[in-house]
Chain A
Amino acid sequence: MPLFPRLTSLWRNLLHRKRVELELSEEIQAYLDMLTEAKLREGLSPREARRAALVELGGVDQVKEQVREVRMGSLIEAVRQDVRYGVRVLLKSPVFTTVAILSLALGIGANTAIFSVVNGLLLRPLPYPESDRIMHVWHTPPQDSFPGQDRFSVSPGNYLDWKAQSQSFEQMAAYEYAGFSLSTGGDPVPVLAIAVASDFFSVLRTQPAVGRAFTAEEEEVGRDQVVVLSHGLWQRAFGGDPGVVGRTVTLNSRGFNVVGIMPAGFEFPQEAELWVPLAWDGEQRRVRSIHDSAVVARLKPNVTLEQAQAEMSTISSQLEQQYPEENKNWGAVVIPLHEDIVGDVRPALLMLFFAVGVVLLIACANVANLMLARGANRQKEIALRIALGATRGRVARQLLTESVLLAVVGGVLGLLLAGWGSNMLVRLSSGSLPASTEIGLDKWTLGFTLLVSLGAGILAGVAPAVQFTKSEMSEALKQGTGRSAAGSVKQRTRKALVISEVAMSLILLICAGLLIRSFWKLQQIDPGFDTRNTLTMSLGLSPTRYKEPAQQLAFQDRVLERIRALPGVVAAGVTSTIPLAGGGSKQPYTVEGRPAPPVAEQPLAQTRYVTADYFKAMGIPLRAGRFFGDQDSEKGAQVIIISEAMARQLWPGEDPIGKRLTASFHLDKGPREVVGVVGDVKSNVQETAPAATMYMPYRQTPRPWMTFVARTASDAQNFVPVMSKAIYSIDREQAVTNVRTMEQVMEQSLSGRQFHMTLLITFAALALVLAAVGVYGVMNYTVALRRRELGIRMALGAQGRDVLRLVIGQGLALTLIGVGAGLLAAYGLTRLMASLLYGVTATDFLTFFSVPAVLVAVGLLASYLPARRAAKVDPIIALRSE
């Protein structure tokens, strides 16, 4: 069958409908006229001829209609009519239309926004060629030393053995985070630098857009002063000048030759600004006890994840036997990169996706309810259409067209909301979402919105379409008012809808409640120090300018002196890492007089290197003994301060002061005497039990990486300029990073949770409002339906109070059934979110008690308003109105 004439006909029928119709009229008219002439010729009178012709024709409009039905695109035409009619109907009731469109817009918008995140993070592959073959390879640490940790950084020695021995990977490359400061004239700016093995870019199969990547020779110390810039840094710091390739830039006071610029959008690991070669000297290459590297690798095309995992397990058990001292119980795990990056946010994202899905369902139920309520006024119209021969299918299609229309308009509005919303999401997430650059509205998101809109429209229209075309309804209509019979059928549907709305919103509210309780518990945590008025700044000294420990200490002393001299600074100290920020290391130790197992089996304690006043600056209390003092210098006796938890663990019921222990990483310094016990401090918020912590004096264990901590007399934020100036006045080449008050550190450590919680609260609140509107709507309608009955009751002596009780009772019953169903569902569902909770169980009594109470209260309010109206019914008017 030739396609072309059909397409041209379709085109003409749809776009030149007027002309097509006009021609049809003319054609039929000509036929009629010619037929009349023929009848005249047969000898009939003009009137008879005309009549006979009309009879033979069988009605001009009927013939036209029959022609229209066979035309190409007749279905499209019918839909067009439905849509035009639907628009007219919807415009006639603007309040209904607005409320319905807004409900759907909110539901669809929320879904689209969350989908854009789910799509960007979970569904879309990473932006590297054949990214599904890129893996992270991590150590699995011994569980007794690192309980709960399933991934651990890798040491140079082990990485090099992995790389040399494994056959499963095309390439393998280690990378490490390095804090660098970039000087381009003014104050040095901190940049996130990544030190990478030369195969790094080949693993990701992404080459610089300008210039080249690193060569294997550049992994040698001394030849490693080359740098590849990110597109972003190139734009920011060098104005996008391609001539920067080949030039020398100053990083950490050393000159680096720029060899390449990565393409825009390449950001691995997240927020990386520049890459330098990862260079180890001969000695460093043999180190197996310092775990600093992450390892990426590309699977060979015909090797499966399982095969690679099996090979890595074999290699690491060989390494365990070969180097038991460092490698005992250290395994290896291969994880797809995408999985590794988004694995942590998946449960929270899926929960949010579920939540917006529920919100949309509630919105659909609401629109269905509104349509049913409005249908009361349309009964006549619909009955008329059915009486005039419209099939039930035709009427149902009309109703569905209306709800789909609402949903499509809602979808367009929702898309606008989502565009704004997903920007908000990225901003709100403040770093708690990985790869946030991938989030946005793309064709998948648009397709999703379209599908969801159509789906929502059909979902919302099904109940009304079925209800209004039920035969009992039209029968009832034929008999006159017919309100009671038809009304009761629809009332059942409406009540069921409202009950499910209440139940669904209860589920969301309970989820939100549990998150709020978790968050609240987390905020109540005593971190073990005073977060108020504490400012911290970090600094990594250039290893060339401050090569000798004595130089590092001298720099530190001079800065501390300046900071202390600032008016308003109460105390100032230095620490290697601050608590709550997730950094710091756990180090092995042995106790004097007790058996000393090999390093790999020794107990571990959180370790910080601090100056004398660190404890005062942080507000960590002294429990026994003393803080560090001037006597604990390079030349003084080796000393150590331990936390309460560690003291309890090692010497329960004994005085730990004067006991001696050895930090295995500082073996050469010999055993250290415990001179003090300080309060426990949380290393991270999730920690349930305080971890054993040991503190060593900075002067006895100097290092180039330091964080200055100052306790201030007033808001610490005000001290940011003066304190950084104090540091820059000593050396303006050393960039200050991580300028944060301890309150901000605390906040940041909770920001991921806060993000999920804020969103879920928003969605739950939305659900609550929609459900309240639902209850209100159905009660309002009930009151309207029962006006006559209520009028009779009042005429027979019922008081306003009785009517009030009657109506509220009914609303309350609906709410309670919904709450009951919701509680059952929530009880089953909340355990799925256990991993997102802290300090509360998934069936937390307080939440399961208070949330339903809130919902019942809202239900009461929503039925009180219609009830009050019912109580004011004037019996005379009510009786007359029927």
Chain B
Amino acid sequence: MPKKKLDLLQGTLDLLVLKALALGPLHGLGVSSRIEQITQGAFQVKPGSLFPALHRMEEAGWLESSWGDSENNRRAKFYRLTKAGRRQLETETADWQRISLAIATALKAT
């Protein structure tokens, strides 16, 4: 499956960002490398999609942000999940599993 298309999958980006942040606060670059890592390189999130998504999700109340120091002592903006964000992650995970199961079943049908 070409990577470009994975990038565009609607709704997956939010889920991936929430999932990446579920393990702990991260800055922007951290979020994209974490996604790359947990998807084993299947997804590379470009800044042009990542930042709008982070800001949109923060405005929706799923994330909150604060300024802190990075591993290399660089000032960076860190995002972490809020309670609402955790709930959102649960809902989206459940949704995603339902959908993927349904799609998988459909594809197996003969």
Contact = CB atoms under 8 A, between A and B. Distances in A.
12 contacts: A4-B61, A5-B61, A6-B61, A27-B76, A28-B47, A31-B47, A34-B27, A34-B70, A63-B51, A67-B51, A70-B52, A70-B56
Interface string A60-87: 0011001101111000000000000000
A73 to B, nearest CB: 10
Contact of A63 (B27, B48, B60, B77): B48
Which residue, A23, A34, A37, A71, has most C-beta atoms of chain B within 10 A?
Answer: A34
Interface in B66-110: 70, 72, 74-77, 84
A23 B48 contact: no
Given A4-B61, A69-B52, A72-B59, A26 B47 contact: no
B74 A1 contact: no
Contact of A1 (B48, B49, B60): B60
Contacts of A69: 52
A186 interface: no
B61 A2 contact: yes
A101 B28 CA distance: 50
Nearest to A38: B29
Closest 10 CB pairs of A and B: A5-B61, A9-B59, A70-B52, A70-B56, A30-B76, A27-B77, A2-B61, A31-B28, A34-B29, A66-B52
Interface of B: 27-29, 46-49, 51-53, 55-56, 58-61, 70, 72, 74-77, 84
B55 A33 contact: no
A56 interface: yes
Contacts of A56: 46-47
A721 interface: no
A300 to B, nearest CB: 57
Interface in A78-102: none
A35 interface: yes
B35 to A, nearest CB: 14
B23 to A, nearest CB: 19
Nearest to B30: A34
A57 B47 contact: yes
A58 interface: yes
Contacts of B46: 56, 58
Interface in A17-49: 23, 26-28, 30-31, 33-35, 37-38
Contact of B48 (A5, A34, A58): A58
Contact of B29 (A6, A35, A58, A72): A35
Nearest to A31: B28
Contacts of A26: 75, 77
Contacts of B76: 27, 30-31, 34
B51 A66 contact: yes
Nearest to A71: B55
B64 to A, nearest CB: 9
Contacts of B84: 2
Contacts of B49: 66
Nearest to B82: A5
B47 A70 contact: no
Given A38-B29, A69-B52, A71-B59, 20 more contacts: A2-B61, A6-B59, A6-B60, A6-B61, A23-B77, A26-B75, A27-B51, A30-B27, A30-B75, A30-B76, A30-B77, A31-B28, A31-B29, A31-B47, A37-B74, A58-B46, A63-B48, A66-B49, A70-B53, A70-B56
A1 B59 CA distance: 11
A28 B76 CA distance: 9
B52 A67 contact: yes
B55 A28 contact: no
A28 B28 CA distance: 9
B52 A27 contact: no
A66 B54 CA distance: 12
A23 B28 CA distance: 13
Contacts of B53: 70
Contacts of B77: 23, 26-27, 30
A65 to B, nearest CB: 9
B19 to A, nearest CB: 20
A46 to B, nearest CB: 15
Contacts of A58: 46-48
A28 B51 contact: yes
A69 B49 CA distance: 12
Contacts of B56: 70
Nearest to B44: A56
Contacts of A71: 55, 59
A215 B56 CA distance: 72
Nearest to A58: B48
Contact of B72 (A28, A34, A57): A34
Contacts of A57: 47
A72 B55 CA distance: 10
